[in-house]
Amino acid sequence: MDDLGGLLELLPDARTPKSWVRGGDGLVGWGEVARWTGSGPDRFADADEWWRSFVAGTRVLDEVGAPGTGPVAFASFTFSDDSPGSVVVVPRVVVGRRDGHAWITEFSHGDGPSVVHAVDPVRPSGTLRYSDGLLPVDRYRAAVAEAVRRMRAGELDKAALAHDLIAVAEAPLDPRHLLGGLAERYPTCWSFAVEGLVGATPELLVRRTGDVVESRVLAGTMWAASPGEGSLGERLMGSAKDRHEHALAVDSLTSALAPLCASLDAPDVPDVLTLHNVSHLASDVRGRLDPVAPASLLLLAEAVHPTAAVGGTPRKVAVDLITELEAMDRGRYAGPVGWIDSRGDGELGIALRCAQLDGPVARLFAGCGIVADSDPDTEVREAAAKLVAVRDALEGD
């Protein structure tokens, strides 16, 4: 159909909007016709089975036939196997745009169209009060120091530790305000919203388009206040610590994907991704799935989550260390988030630069990859720089 304008501007109200938008393209949704919730180590496979069963029970008229058309669900999974709250939601209405083409998908039970709707004004956050989360800065610094000690003792190579911050408003927060602010500030990131988790991630965990699988690995970060000479990109490329951290993340991803692929390519040298306030080392990985039994998007996510970028190396040792040192439930922070269609295609990013909204309360998260050469004070400053992205968007007019 004709272009409808900005996708985020179509979201009608503050009741759990769904979004996966980057640079004006992507998907938004509202309403709900079905959902799956679950937890445990089999949550990806369970969600995949539920989604296949749901799709099999629908009658579809798809006049577009592109990825993201037909039945579409938005998904958000917890970081930890033991954490409750993984969810797959099927919206009543989805509006999409890709490469200049726009479309609407609507579920109908014979009760008339719901595409035409009034859009409630977006509510700014107003005055915010901040307080410590479950893991405040002083304990985060101590956790980083202990992780470094164990790495230098040879127990593991890397762990990605995070901490949280609480923001409280005087009235319920409108997720569209945070979503729009992040999309404006970070147009090259994927702006997402699923069940109150709102953020803008630069990291694509996995994309499936037919037999093609793609991923963008980010690991190794510098920000404007980082000490040193030269541009951020030059310092990143010349940093042995950041290059080592990045290599661990790329190896983690390719090792997990390789058994599911007929071919897989990763660059020998990373690029530099420059964002509004930080720069990352980035590698784009691309492969072709096993043609005999191509894995769906959710089963690909099961294989690769958590990568070394947000978990660590070795995976189990790192995740156990995260559980011990953070001593908090991350919820869906650093878990896969995105969308899937009826063909098993879709995109899942890693839920970074995000906040979980619950009425007037926002729980913000930020984390860093820790290796043996990490300095606890530097990692604290890096996490603070990453929190700026969400704080600025949450506070903006």
- Give the model confidence (pLDDT) of 252-281 as tens digits: 999 999 999 999 999 999 999 888 778 889
Once rounded to an integer, what is the mean pLDDT over residues 316-339? Answer: 97
- In tens, the pLDDT along 82-99 reads 999 999 999 999 999 998
**What was the pLDDT predicted at 5?**
82
- In tens, the pLDDT along 286-307 reads 999 999 989 999 999 999 999 9
C-alpha R_g of the chain: 20
CA 84, CA 22: separation in Å to the nearest integer? Answer: 28
Find out whether 198 and 33 touch, Cβ atoms under 8 Å. Answer: no
Full 3-state SS string of 60-107: CCCCCCCCCCCCEEEEECCCCCCCCCEEEEECCEEEEEECCEEEEEEC
Once rounded to an integer, what is the mean pLDDT over residues 86-113? Answer: 87
Where residue 365 falls among pLDDT bands split at 50, 70, 90? very high
CA 228, CA 226: separation in Å to the nearest integer? Answer: 7
Q: Where are the beta strands (DSSP E) in 178-254?
A: 190-194, 197-201, 204-209, 212-223
**What was the pLDDT predicted at 160?**
95
**Residue 1 maps to a domain:** no
- Omega of the bond leading into 314 within 30 degrees of 0 (cis): yes
Helix (H) or strand (E) holding 250: helix 240-257
Q: Which residue has the tokens 């839920």?
A: 351
**What was the pLDDT predicted at 159?**
96
**Residue 88 CB contacts under 8 Å (≥ 6 apart), including other chains:** 35, 36, 37, 47, 50, 51, 73, 74, 75, 340
**Residue 66 CB contacts under 8 Å (≥ 6 apart), including other chains:** 98, 101, 103
CA distances in angstroms from 265 to 187, 285, 287, 307, 344, listed in the order given:
27, 6, 6, 17, 22
**What was the pLDDT predicted at 309?**
86
Helices marked H in 266-359: 297-304, 315-326
**Residue 25 maps to a domain:** yes
Where residue 110 falls among pLDDT bands split at 50, 70, 90? low
CA distances in angstroms from 359 to 82, 174, 196, 356, listed in the order given:
25, 9, 9, 10
Once rounded to an integer, what is the mean pLDDT over residues 233-242? Answer: 88
Question: Which tokens is 27 given?
Answer: 């998907």
CA 39, CA 369: separation in Å to the nearest integer? Answer: 25
Once rounded to an integer, what is the mean pLDDT over residues 160-175? Answer: 97
Question: Which tokens is 37 given?
Answer: 């919730």
**Residue 274 maps to a domain:** yes
**Residue 115 maps to a domain:** no
Catalytic residue list: 158, 203
Higher pLDDT, 72 or 118: 72
**What was the pLDDT predicted at 226?**
58
**5: phi > 0 → left, psi -120 to 50 → alpha, else beta; which?**
left
The answer on pLDDT for 167 being more than 80 is: yes
**What was the pLDDT predicted at 325?**
98
Q: How many domains is the chain built from?
A: 1
- In tens, the pLDDT along 185-218 reads 999 999 999 999 999 999 999 999 999 999 999 8
Where residue 111 falls among pLDDT bands split at 50, 70, 90? low
**What was the pLDDT predicted at 115?**
57
**Residue 293 maps to a domain:** yes
Question: Which tokens is 164 given?
Answer: 């949280």
Where residue 1 falls among pLDDT bands split at 50, 70, 90? confident
CB burial readout 205-219, b (16+ within 10 A) else e: bbbbeeeebebbbbb
Once rounded to an integer, what is the mean pLDDT over residues 324-342? Answer: 97
Once rounded to an integer, what is the mean pLDDT over residues 144-158? Answer: 97
Contacts by residues 319-323 (CB-CB < 8 Å, ≥ 24 positions apart): 319/80, 321/147, 321/150, 321/155, 321/156, 321/159, 322/159, 322/160, 322/161, 323/80
- Which CATH number do you get for residue 180? 3.60.120.10
Residue 368 pairs with which residues in a beta bridge?
161
> DSSP states of 11-44 as a string?
--SSSS-EEEEETTEEEEEES-SEEEEE-STTHH
**Residue 117 maps to a domain:** no
CA 234, CA 72: separation in Å to the nearest integer? Answer: 41
**Residue 114 maps to a domain:** no
Q: Highest mean pLDDT range out of 60-64, 252-256, 322-326? A: 322-326
- In tens, the pLDDT along 26-60 reads 999 999 999 999 999 999 999 999 999 999 999 99
**What was the pLDDT predicted at 235?**
85
**Residue 118 maps to a domain:** no
HSE toward the beta carbon, residue 180, CA cutoff 13 A: 20
**What was the pLDDT predicted at 233?**
81
**What was the pLDDT predicted at 263?**
97
Domain that holds residue 302: 8-109+123-395
**What was the pLDDT predicted at 114?**
56
The answer on pLDDT for 3 being more than 80 is: no
Write down the mean pLDDT value for the chain. 93
